[in-house]
Structure 1
Amino acid sequence: MIDAATDGGGMEVIMNKFIFSYPTKVYFGEGSAQQAFAAELGRIGETVMLAYGSGSVKKNGVYDEIKLLLEGAGKKIVDFSGIMPNPTYAKAQEGAALARNEHVDFILAVGGGSVIDCCKVISAQAMLDGDIWDMEYGKGKFPTAGIPMGAVVTASGTGAEMNAGAVITYEEKKWKGPVFGTGATFAVLDPAYTKSVPPMQVLSGAFDTLSHAMETYLGTSDQDNVSDDLALAVMRNTVVNMRRLLADINDMQARSNLMWDSAMAENGILKCGRLTDFQAHQIEHQLGAYTDCNHGQGLAVIHPAYYRHIVKDAPEKFTRFAKVVFNADTAEAGVEALAGFITECGLPTKMSQLKSTVEITPEVLRQVADTCNIIKCNPRELGREEIYEILTECL
């Protein structure tokens, strides 16, 4: 007889019912853009919004390559540039207005998670009469249609190309969180496109991947759950390949592995049949609403402090994490191994090391704690005072 897993309170935990769909077609590997466009051009509209960030895609030649492929197929291109890290709600509204005015019928996001997230909201907002934020957070409804879009990933880590969820900063409301738009019908994952990304950005993105897998794993799951095994494998592989990049930042095999780790962590497979614990993400998102710190680096600062608070609430899971991912013996040793790994990677370990133009003070952290979303699931629901305590431990 196999003992049933419990939720810690004696109640049996079984896998939740779910429907799984994988709508994004992935073209992976060097030169995959040409393969993708050869297959997808017939389904791409005549007027394409080519969306990107600060212009690095122009410097590294990716923009010219994609533009040539589109123009060669007779597509009209509408440029939309300047999408910033931590994309703002105002920028998404600007893009939606441009898409409507130019009668855009396809959006191609070329960049990292920020560009892709912004385009998801642009896609849905452009086809709505009302305001998408009011729709989702006021009426509790979500868009059912959007301008079709694709993604060419140039900086991996967020897995944004794998789903319809976007993280947007609404500056006027001092809020950063999810807005659900339109997912990409296809995604180009060419590791060669990440070559020009600064080393610290590569590592920050990879830590975001690690965080996605960790926070999914620490949610509620039944015993011997396949998603737990997959999450642990993604975590271990991410750590292994981050260490390879520390030895050689130009290791393309390691970059390839990390790019697929990123996609696997957010394509929904790890989340099937369970609730997830994304409390650290919620805290960091709201930190990003009050500052302009890098997302992956903010997560690196918050995670060890958060895990020290909850390690005793999920001892079996933390112990397995410790053994599989870091070859450590105990739950607590696994948390400290994670903290040591963050230091090994040169990622920030304190708020003072985050490159924010806004000074991170106890008063700012009080506002973050008082406004961040609280996840009501495993391992344990936090209160606002404990969130503030976690944040101040990171100063």
Structure 2
Amino acid sequence: MQNFEFRNPTKIVFGRGTENQVGAEAAAYSKRILLHFGGGSARASGLLDRVKASLRAAGVEWVELGGVKPNPRLGLVHEGVRLCKQEKLGLVLAVGGGSVIDSAKAIAMGAVIDHDVWDFYLGRGAPTSALPVGVVLTIPAAGSEASTGTVVTKEEGALKRAVNSDLIYPRFSILNPEQCFSLPPFQMACGAMDIMAHLMERYFTNVPHVAFTDRLIEATMKTIIAEAPKLQKNPKDYDAWSEFMWAGTLAHNNLLNTGRIGDWASHDIEHEISGIYDVAHGAGLAVVFPAWMKHVLRHDLDRFVQWAVRVWNVELDIFDREATARQGIARMEAFYQSLGLATTLDGLGVRGDRIDEMADKCTDGDVHTVGNFVKLDRSEVAAVLRLAA
């Protein structure tokens, strides 16, 4: 196990009706805020009205900025930065899922600097301050409600890039599983894949003696595998959503990173797919992860066998351990397919004619590799994408 420091300052407010506490939480940081949200669902469900009523009761004024899309765009971030500076706003409140939260974090970083926040996404410096961010979560998936990460897409060049900084941990996140009742089945499925991907990126590590966090990650994966089918049958199952939502937060709040080094190649590769084709991140991950696994399987066959046996209940074949591992991958693919997700680029509706371009962008022209479990150069990223095709 590696040395580590763990700190997560995000206050979680969990349960029924907790969105009504947002005014008091926000007022602790600023009485003038940016209210940031996505499309019509927050408005149509009445959530936005309840949030506004709570803000009003706490004496908090707000400026609205809606219109966040999946794979949030830099152009809207720039507009949020402009509003925060012009209106002297002191907090960015995200009402939505991972895309809204990621956009809010980008705005929070950009509102306190004189240069373009995109510089941070290109690795040109790191933030030294940011406005506080608050969250009312509506989609359990990205884990951004308690993480250091933000991912934004620049329209020009279709570049999707990430920033990680302790400065953008949300100060508070309000999680009410009731907000998930109206989610379409496809969004639930994408959320399940996103959560599973966060867990598997951490699970496949070269660091030895991480048995405790192995077991935590396995338990969290098994929770998603158990709860997602229940939500297919009954989208208003509060108890199932509670398990699912809390698992999604813990999957990406860095607790499960402790003492280990994750991989993250699949995320980097998927960013090129959704950056160009604008597919849902979870849907893209359902395609990339099985292909990545097949490509790197023999690097640490024992870890794949352990995952197959413990997570997917595959019976160990002591005479053919690779067959055991591959059966785990097959069961994972079948699980995603049962939720309505494609597991190939073709099934996703993505043509395979830009694989070389995606591999080139992923590695910045073969300047660097991606991943830690196995370091992949441009040719290997292309090989993964061809397996996915």
- Verify same fold: TM over 0.5: yes
Residue type at the aligned position of 2:45: N
> 1:179, 1:94 → 2: CA distance?
19
Q: Deviations over 1:216-244 (max 9, x none)?
A: 10023322432111111111111111122
Once the two structures are TM-superposed, the CA of residue 157 in structure 1 deviates from its matched residue by 0.8
Give the TM-score normalised by structure 1.
0.90
Aligned length: 374
Residue 132 in 1 paired to residue 117 in 2?
Answer: yes
Amino acid at match of 2:133: M
* One-letter amino acid matched to 1:246: Q
Q: Please, which of 284, 288, 295 is the counterpart of residue 270 of structure 2?
A: 284
Code of the residue aligned with 2:331 in structure 1: it is: A
Q: Which residue of 1 aligns with 2:2?
A: 16
1:176 equivalent in structure 2:
160
Question: What is the aligned partner in structure 2 of residue 44 from structure 1?
Answer: 29
Residues 242-299 of structure 1: CA deviation (Å, up to 9, x unaligned): 1222332322211111101110111101101221111111110111111111110111
1:281–1:299: 8 Å Cα contact kept in structure 2? yes
Paired residue for 2:358, among 363, 368, 373?
Answer: 368
Q: Secondary structure of the equivalent of 1:362?
A: coil
Q: Give secondary structure in 2 for the equivalent of 1:169.
A: strand
Output aligned runs, 1:114-129, within 5 Å.
114-129=99-114
Separation in 2, partners of 1:264, 1:393? 31
**Corresponding residue for 1:3?**
none
277, 284, 307: which one aligns with 1:321? 307
Percentage identity across paired residues of the two chains:
34
For the pair 1:155 / 2:139, whether they are aligned, the reply is yes
Mapped to 2, the partners of 1:335 and 1:274 lie a distance apart of: 23
**Partner of residue 226 from structure 2, selected from 215, 240, 252:** 240
Helix, strand or coil: the match of 2:354? helix
User: 1:37, 1:138 → 2: CA distance?
Assistant: 35
The secondary structure found in structure 2 opposite 1:151 is strand
Match of 1:389 in 2: 383
Query: By how many angstroms is 1:36 displaced?
Result: 5.1
Structure 1 residue 133 displacement after superposition: 2.7
Contact 2:22 2:54 in 1 (8 A): no
CA distance in 1, matches of 2:343, 2:108: 37
The gaps in structure 2 that reach 5 residues or longer are 316-323, 364-368
**What's 1:216 paired with?**
202
Map of 1:106 onto structure 2 = 91
Q: Is the 8 A contact 2:191 2:282 kept in 1?
A: yes
Q: Is the 8 A contact 2:27 2:58 kept in 1?
A: no
The alignment's TM-score, normalised by the length of structure 2, stands at 0.92
Whether the 8 Å contact between 2:22 and 2:51 is mirrored in structure 1 is no
Q: Deviations over 1:293-313 (max 9, x none)?
A: 111011111111211111111
Q: Deviations over 1:319-377 (max 9, x none)?
A: 1111111101321211111111111211112223336xxxx333322211111143241
Distance 1:137 1:294 in 2: 22
